[in-house]
Structure formats: C-alpha cells, structure tokens
Copies of this chain bind each other. A is one copy, B any other.
Amino acid sequence: MTEKTLDVVGIGNAIVDVMTYVEEDFITKFGLNKGTMALVDEARVEQLYRAMGACAESSGGSVANTLAGIASFGGTAGFIGKVRDDAFGRVFSHDLRGAGVEFGTPPATDGLGTARSLIVVTPDAQRTMNTFLGVAAEIYSYDIDRELIARAKVLMLEGYLWDSLEARAGLNKAIKIAKESGTKVAFSLSDPFCVDRHRKDFLALVEGQLDIVFANEAEIMSLYEVKDFRSAVEKVRGRCEIAAITRSEKGSVVVTGDNEYAVPAEKIPEIVDSTGAGDLYASGFLYGLTHGMEPAACAALGSKAAGSIIQHLGARPLKPLKNLL
C-alpha cells in the first residue's frame, strides 16, 4: 500500500467567492432561497453582481475551504479541481497553495472561466449563494490523480460535484482508487436543494460507498425525506462508519454504529457571516480523525473551527487554526 503522507485529499469545485452584505429585501427582490446555494447561468450572475454593491473577493469552494482549514490546523492536504488560466483562476491557485494545500490539477486553457459564487450575507449573518460553475464542472477522469488519492488517509468529496455530469465519471474513479488504497471516503451533502437534485445517487453513496458523511439538519432530513431530526438520525445510523450532523447553534450530533455523541457549539460573541461554517466543521473533524482523536473530540474541534470562521467575512481561516488545538 502507498505510504500515507497526506491527511486528506479533496475533490471539489474550484470557486472564487464574491461577497457582500445586503439588506433582507435583496433576498425577496431577486427571489432567492436564503441559506442555500443556487446554480445560475452567466446572465443571472451578471444581473445579481450589478445589484450587489461593493464586494470582497476570496477563494472558496466547499471542499477547498475544508482543506485550507486542515492545513491551517497543521495537517497535510491535497486538492483536485479545475480552474481556468484567468485572473480568478490564479487567485484561487495562489490562495490554496498559499494555505499549504498541494494543488496540481492543470488549469484549462480554453472554454468557460473560473467559477464564481456570489455570496450575499443578510443582517441575520446567513449567507445565500448564487454560483456560476464555469470550468469548475469540467473535472475529467484524467484529472483524478491516483497517486495523490492513494497517499491520503481520507478522500473528501462534496455533493455539489454531482451537479456536473462530466465530473461524475471522475468521482466514481476516485472512490474506486480510495477503496483500493485503504483511503477512507468522506462526503458532504452540501445543500438541501443539492440533495433534492441527487437523492437517489446520494442514498446509494451513503448505503455502500462512504465511510464518513457530513450533513446539516436540513440536508439529512432532505436525504431521507423526513420531517424531524430524530427520524433522520435513526435512518442514517449504521449506514456508514460515521455521520456527523451539524445543527447550527445546537452544535452537532455524531452517529456511529453503536454510539451517538451530542457536542455543543462554540459560544461566540457575534456571528458575522455563516459562510464556511460547515466546511470548517469538516476541517476540524477530519484533522482530529486523521490524528487519532475519538469522534466526540473530532466534533468538538469541528465546532471550534466553525465558531472561528463565522466571526469574520469569508470562508477561509485568516489566522492559523492550530491556535485552537
């Protein structure tokens, strides 16, 4: 077996976030679903961008955020994802490598531009995302780096990738490599609407392919089409080794085959922007898991990382998370 020299390798959408604060009426005016991610075309992204006022740009993408968080804890991480050779692609690549994450997927030299996600943060600190996937969706089988996956203790995937037909063949290849290499497979359900779009595939993944699943309450309830949290917990129990379910200010619940751990959220003075909370919870959890911690301790570290990220605008750590250890 390949030596495990990486804690986590991730495959995800390579996205630059374009963020601003808006008033509540922005949500209603443009018919947005608060707290969720919508896929939009270039015309819609331009329409919303024009309406958004002054913005701040920084690198995003759910799995990429998680990996940047793991590196910030002092862990080792690698990323597979697609940017274009344009200004935003250079920003994304610089930021991920600058965070200490290995990233070698060659940028596309033609076709669509680097993905952008317009993120508006309302006064209640909730974030609503409108994403133009661009070239990020074009992860092909040949981009799946066998050696990188085999070197990692955990392969992390995001449900958002299922929105790209092109990417799915590559993802199945990645899961197969992980199984052959003794690499555990972790997966985030990403978004309740995303779950809705791909419920059949996600159910099959949770049943047979995944070791670790990350979800929030809305996502796990959407997966099993149930109306209360406890029913969802009973449904997921025993389907995979670990289900880590986040519940915002109620903390998280970790469900293993035999046990269940309820872990409180970090108490923080003020939530500024919830963007990246779930991604960074996964950072803390997976850093813990790949460093021999028990599930409840992993969840506590996840809460700390999530608590840290929601105190500023943006989804990447601004100061080293290893200070939280």
Interface residues of A (CB under 8 A from B): 20-21, 49-50, 52-59, 68, 86-88, 91, 94-96, 98-100, 312-314, 316, 318-319
Contacts and interface: CB of A to CB of B under 8 A. Distances in A.
A56 B55 contact: no
Contacts of A58: 54-57
Main SS of the interface on chain A?
Answer: mixed
Given A54-B316, A319-B21, A49 B94 contact: yes
Contacts of A53: 95, 98-100
Nearest to A16: B57
A167 to B, nearest CB: 24
Nearest to A95: B54
A114 to B, nearest CB: 9
B94 A56 contact: no
A68 B54 contact: yes
A316 B20 CA distance: 11
A303 to B, nearest CB: 22
Nearest to A88: B87
Nearest to A49: B94
